[in-house]
Structure 1
Amino acid sequence: MLRTIRAKFLGVAAFFVVWLFVATGFSVIQSLGINGDLEAVSRYVTPVKDALSDVRVRQLEQISLLDRYMRVVENDGPHAPLLNGIEIEIAAKQAQIEQAFRKTFTFAALGRAQASSHFENGVLLDLDVRMREFADVSAQFSLGMERLLSRVGDGDLMDAQRQENIVRGLHRNIVLDLRNEILRLEKYAADTVESVSRSEDFLIQAEFIMMLGAVIIGVSLAYYMAHAVVVAVRKTTNALNDIQSGKLDTSLDFKGKGDFARLADAFNRMSRELRVRFRMRERFGKYVDPKVINNLINQETALENSEKRVMTVSVVNLTGFDWLAEHTPPEKLVDFLNDYLTAMTEPISNHSGIIDNFVGDRVIGFWGPPFCGENAHARHACQAALEQVARFNALKTKYADLIGDHGLDIRIGIATGEVVVGSIGTDKSRAYTVVGDCVNYANRLEKANRVYGTRILASHETANMAAGEIEMRDLDHVVLLGTEHVVYLYEVLAPGGQLSDERRDWRSKYETAMTHYREGAFDKAKPLYEAVLEFDHSDFAAQLMMNRMERLQRREQDREWNGTWIVRDPYDRRDVES
């Protein structure tokens, strides 16, 4: 609601200015489209057509010279003085033809580069390719002419006659193909002119409709502003009565920056504070760390609204749990699960994270504003993951008699990206959670640990945000089958500065080997991978790369190597092992 009558009229004037800009922009865009169509025809299509016409004329002139040449041979013999002059004219015509073909290809290639929308379908699709094909056929014709003239010069008139028949056949095909191509380009130019005419008619009609719309909307706005004050007073009175009767969900909604809008903001802050504090404690008091509740209360709209934010998501999965559940008495299994979930959730809370939910033995957490800094959530997530691994190692020692050597371990996937965060659910059951592709990405990274024999994998975005604060290893770049999207995988190793010199050398050798591997220099990469395995014989990733190189050398991938492996099933080792 605007504050004064003057402001209201200024608002109407501003509306018409914006409308004018929109209408002008629309007209400009349409005009640019029309100009683009005409420019494509005038600058590229027409020159190609003219050059092809020139080629066709020169071809006809050349075959006419051939007729004259053969008549002189028949009448005066293969060594007649006139033949040299005719041969020079034939060569000159061939040079003109080649020059014209170069012009056609140049304009066709420029058209594909500068007006690609016109050259990607229909008549103009692969126009530059067809020009090359015409040039190739013309080259064959020129070569045939040279052979014909050579046979005449050698006096082999019978072979010259056979070569003449071949040349004339090529000539007929060239002239016919050129004629068809010229007709297609002429039709395209005519159709484009007709389309431009229709577009101009549409533009005139659209401008008239926009002008009529401006009149209708302007009158409607004038009526709305006259009526709005009465409505605003009535809404305020009714809202105050509702609050007085205990309806805390009541709110006012006045648009703009006027007095009524400020009144509505003050009223809504009061009702939201009462409502949010009540609902926050009701919904989260039993499940969420008190610091989270305080943050949500300070962010007064966090409970009511959902929004898009860049955050970091972590997924922890316990491998081998099915076997443990099947072979462990219920009371011992419950004790282990309680200790396990405590060991996985406390690092999330300790590092400013939010525990999203539990799915069986999987623990999902997320980090981001307002619970930690804008640029700190990737670091917090990696630190929590490292602590989770440390705590799980201690847990394995505590329950060594229960776990035994059955390969019970955790895998962690960490991804950073845009998510929708907020209170999501039904009227009866809601949760403060995150959803989006980033969550799915974290799940895929968790599963990908199985392929590389790792425990913590992070996305490229996470690695960039945590650079310098977390020690990571550039593990691999892969492409999932059926897509062109490259997935960058990083292994989380240790907090920043806490990697030993030996481990730094081990990482450096692996990453240098990966550089040679991606460049296809397998002979340089192999000794480095062997050195990595010599330092850590359990480094499955290094052995995996060596297996891949063997497969690539056997050419088992159905494409040229470009440094990125195509994974048909990122969760099945059979696809990546020899």
Structure 2
Amino acid sequence: MLRTVRAKFLGVAGFFVVCLTIGTGFSVIQSLGINGDLEAVSRYVTPVKDALSDVRARQLEQISLLDRYMRVLESDGAEASLLSGIEIEISAKQTQIGQAFRKAFTSAALGRAQASTHFDQGVLLNLDVRMREFADISSQFNIGVEKLLDSVRGGDILTAQRQENIVRGIHRNIVLNLRSEILRLERYVAETVEAVSEREDFLIQAEFIMMLVAGIVGLGLAYYLGVGVARTVADTTKAINSVQSGKLDTNLDFKGQGDFSALANAFNRMTRELRVRFRMRERFGKYVDPKVLGNLLAQETALETSQKRVMTVSVVNLTGFDWLAEHTEPEQLVDFLNDYLTAMTEPISGHSGIIDNFIGDRVMGFWGPPFCNEKSHALHACKAALEQVARFNALKTKYADLIGDHGLDIRIGIATGEVVVGSIGTDKSRAYTVVGDCVNYAHRLEKANRIYGTRILASNETADLASSDVEMRDLDHVVLLGTEQVVYLYEVLAESGHLSEERREWRKNYETAMGFYRDGTFDQAFPLFEKVLEFNDADFAAQLMMNRMERLSRREQDREWNGTWVVRDPYERRDVES
């Protein structure tokens, strides 16, 4: 017995498919038979009949010409001028008769080759042989006519008259045989058309009966299943409404072991868990982070209010995750994600931050009072980002076989600014979160890493608060499309004092080159950017600046250069908004 809803509906669908297949097969077989009959008639039998009718007509015309020839001979003698013209017409009729016979024989022969089931029995049996026999008799007639004409030309009128009687006898034999054959073929055509009509009527009736039976049985099965499903849905809806109204002791009881029984068991387990967790959910289910929970319990007003604060927001995104998800087994992917999210969230919590939310592989956190000092939230965010990079590098080593060389990496954007922070949401579902332009800015900085080839980008406000304790690189200044706002981009490199002498020299060369770049002295900036690339040939930021200087040299900016790149079109916008 089919127990699952899917199996039941698939069974109904399968029944219709079987019925459709049987009906289609029956129709195809019948149609092929009908088409075969009609093809035999239209392509082979009818052309033979028409050719024979043409032969018969030409024969009658030829015997008529022969009568006329003999009358002229009797009245005007063998020297009459009209005789030569009549001889030419008789010869032309003989040619036409030969062509008609060849057409009939060809159609009959093709019919035997292509439609042997029809031509090997009944009226059409040996049709091509009979066509050959008719042609042979017609040849005898033509020979007799030639003998008659030769006698006339030789002046032997008596012999010509005797030959005329022989020719007329052959002609009567030909005409009678042709008439008999034509009538036989006409009867075959009529009988075939009648049989085809009967088969078509039978096919229509059979298809209608099969469709009617399939419809009745299918509708009956569908009604039976539909009633069962509708009853189950109604009972489940009623139970859900009871739970929604607060009756957590509601249970479902569907007999059997199918999907509905599994639904009832799942529903009953849910209500049991709801009864156990009801109080906990009411008090604590809205918040996850322990620091948030402690703060809300200590400040009752924070449960209902929000406020503006200057805070730092961090956004972490995993690049190449789509490829990994498509090419990794679910169990391995879950293990990797668990380790990845742990590596991304622990630095946030460990540096006094709040984990705001997860969007797929993207993690967002924020820092600010009352969870950390008012002056140190930017520094905490930068240190957390550096630890996230270090942890991800270790994670890449652990999962080297899984990741391979497919460019899996993280991008981090850090922005500091005024946000609205507090408990935001509905009466039944709330979250302690931050909203504002600063959040959007952090997302844009995270995306901008892709253009500059960096891993951590921070805003100017973040750099002002944290640069004394964190090594940064002054990366770029740009003006966004449609605005006059200058955006300052800084790359977070390491904690203060943790940058090697070589990398300090590399940063110095880059920032010195950026000074010449902003002053418009490109001939002095080019060599320094080349030194930057010699130290790190993968420094996309240096290459980007060199590309810009080439464009500026071609005067692609339509204003005087003031050291800030102006985004003029969507292509350029990728520099900062990717």
TM-score where L is the length of structure 2: 0.50
Query: Which structure has the greater CA radius of gyration?
Result: 2
